[in-house]
Amino acid sequence: MTTVDPDEKRTDAATPRPDAAARPLPLAVAVPVAVAAGLALLAAFPPYGVWPLAPVGVALLAAAAHRRRLRAGAGLGFLTGVAFFAPLLAWTNLHTGALPWVLLSLLQAGYLALLGVATAWVSPLVDRARWCWAPLTGLLWVGQEALRDRTPFGGFPWGRLAFSQGDSPLVRVAVLGGAPLVTFAVAVAGGLLLTAGWRRWSVGGLRRARWWLPVGGLTAGAVLLCAAGLLVPVGRAGGGATVTVAIVQGNVPRLGLDFNAQRQAVLNNHVDATLELAGRVAAGEQPRPDLVVWPENASDIDPLRNPTAGARISQAADTIGAPILVGAVLLGPDAGQVRNAGILWRPGSGADLEQLYVKRHPVPFAEYVPLRNIARMVSKQVDRVRADFVAGSTPGVVRAGPVLLGDVICFEVAYDEVVRDTVTGGAQLLVVQTNNATFDEAEARQQLAMVRLRAVEHGRPALMASTVGVSGFVGPDGRVSDATGFNTREVVVRQLRLADGRTPATRVGLWPEVALAGLAVAALAGAAVLRRRRRVGPG
């Protein structure tokens, strides 16, 4: 006859049965949920712009990875990343072939794989204190983006949650803590949705009275969190003078990597469009601008060394009677090197070499090739970059008559500190010079969404000037005005009120991201302690 130790029997009876609501989703469910998470995130960004789907995507990824083994969490996060980044970055394969697009998409998906690992890792914290699920989700997203924005080769911040919120009330949160705080708010909203939906949806559970109370309450909390952005005041950081600014979008002979094969034609397009504007000014049809902005690569002929190019730009500046911020490629400083620059061209005197900004963050593998010999083994496309662009060393603060500009070039608008440095340097108007001729309209609209966030973040009027579109003005409240079409030649003129003060986000700079990322690391460490205790067990 077998006897049972009474103490052992009591221990077994006291041991709770595993709660089905605390188990991971079945893998057959988790895989499509992870893919759906990536597609929801994709739909939140331009050109689709369904911003409420960003929290939904966050919730779906967290649900798929919760309580998974770390390897499974990585795989599910990677699936989300591929479903998100591959179509989001499809514009990178238009003219360079599939390989660069595939490599970039897989690299970016790798960061969401790390997020999947982190989500699985902190599951014990969530199981112990369900209330922390929403803020913990926000912290992990900020930490993931902080890493992705900086590594490797300076990072690639495209696809940050904050950049999907141009039409959302949450974009206003940028005035308090920049893009990291917006990302945190979006991910917290997703965490609230997840907490509401994560439960045992059995028939018996559905029959229980008032099951809808926590679900409805948490869902309402997510909605209210998004709506709360409307309570954040945005606008000018301080009053300033009123100026009239013209954007010249000259267009190119043809789209693609060889858009500048007819470099003189591209320059002529911008000169001729400016001369036409001068004609309308002389006829009284347009006010005379105080400043004219040309896009990046408007003159890929170095106008400081080529007298013909310099003379054409001088003709445009003298005729319009206003300084022109010219996007130009300048040779040097050494042989085999070039600089991507914004240079002020004044009427009557020409190039002002004291008001010259050189792009501080050239794009790796597009404007320069790190580890060229190794990169060539992967793809000989790297040899299209014949001369490496040299990075500038000073912020893009350019004085153009009555306006102090904050100039950033192309992808630099995605980097927090590059933009902020111009504002702390005194910029009253944010200018983004870009060339979208090698991409498509989706890329241009994704970039314009970043400009919108920067305008709100720093309380500055802003503009984006593109060779082919989309160009336009953005108010300090994030609203877009006079947006141009894509692959068209257009000139838009608008009166802007400058701003001189600093928003809270401008003042605190990097610290919100440091604090949130630091809390994410602390959460990972806390989860490690809980995991160790579980392995050791009672006593």
Give whole-number Cα distances, 6 to 2, 3, 12, 261, in Å: 13, 9, 10, 88
Rg, Å, the chain Cα set: 26
Contact between 81 and 113 (Cβ < 8 Å): yes
Report the distance separating Cα 271 and Cα 317, nearest Å: 9
Strands annotated E in 372-428: 388-389, 397-400, 403-409
Q: Which long-range contacts (CB under 8 A, 24 or more apart) does 481-489 make?
A: 482/247, 483/448, 484/247, 484/249, 486/436, 486/440, 486/441, 486/444, 487/251, 487/255, 487/441, 488/249, 488/251, 489/249, 489/250, 489/251, 489/269, 489/273
Report the distance separating Cα 424 and Cα 488, nearest Å: 35
Q: Look up 410 and say whether it is catalytic.
A: yes
Closest listed residue to residue 274, CA positions, set 327, 216, 303, 314:
314
Q: Look up 296 and say whether it is catalytic.
A: yes
What tokens were used for 458? 């720093």
Q: How far from each other are the two terminal CA atoms of the chain, in whole angstroms?
A: 31
3-state SS class at 2: coil
Among 145, 367, 410, 513, the active-site one is: 410
Contact between 332 and 358 (Cβ < 8 Å): no
Q: Give φ, ψ of 17 to 5 degrees.
A: -70, 145
Element (H, E) at 464: strand 462-466
Report the distance separating Cα 311 and Cα 320, nearest Å: 14
Among 359, 412, 443, 457, the active-site one is: 359
Among 296, 412, 457, 490, the active-site one is: 296
3-state SS class at 63: helix
CA quadruple 416, 422, 424, 428: dihedral sign: negative
Contact between 65 and 73 (Cβ < 8 Å): yes
Contact between 307 and 314 (Cβ < 8 Å): no
Residues annotated as part of the active site = 296, 359, 410
